[in-house]
Amino acid sequence: MNALLVIIAIVAIILLFIGGFAQAVSWLLWVGIVLLIIAVIVWLLRFITGRRNTSV
């Protein structure tokens, strides 16, 4: 009976970590999409205004 409880506890911990990682990956995916959209907007603004100077 103790072995069954240990196996159930290990499976529960693994599923908890997998769920947390999946949420983190999902969140990072949305952050990446937002950053990509911002980069495209900035690139379009620079392309439309015709500024070619890339030095900061």
* Residuewise pLDDT in 10s, the chain (56 residues): 578 878 888 888 888 888 888 888 888 888 888 988 998 898 888 888 876 666 65
* Rounded (to 5) percent helix, strand, coil in the chain: 85, 0, 15
Residue spans per domain, the chain: 1-51
C-alpha dist (Å) from residue 48 to 35, 41, 42, 43: 20, 10, 10, 9
pLDDT, position 54: 61
Phi, psi of 53 (to 5 degrees): -75, 120
Q: What's 50's DSSP letter? A: T
Instruction: Supply 29's token pair.
Output: 């995916």
pLDDT, position 56: 57
pLDDT, position 53: 61
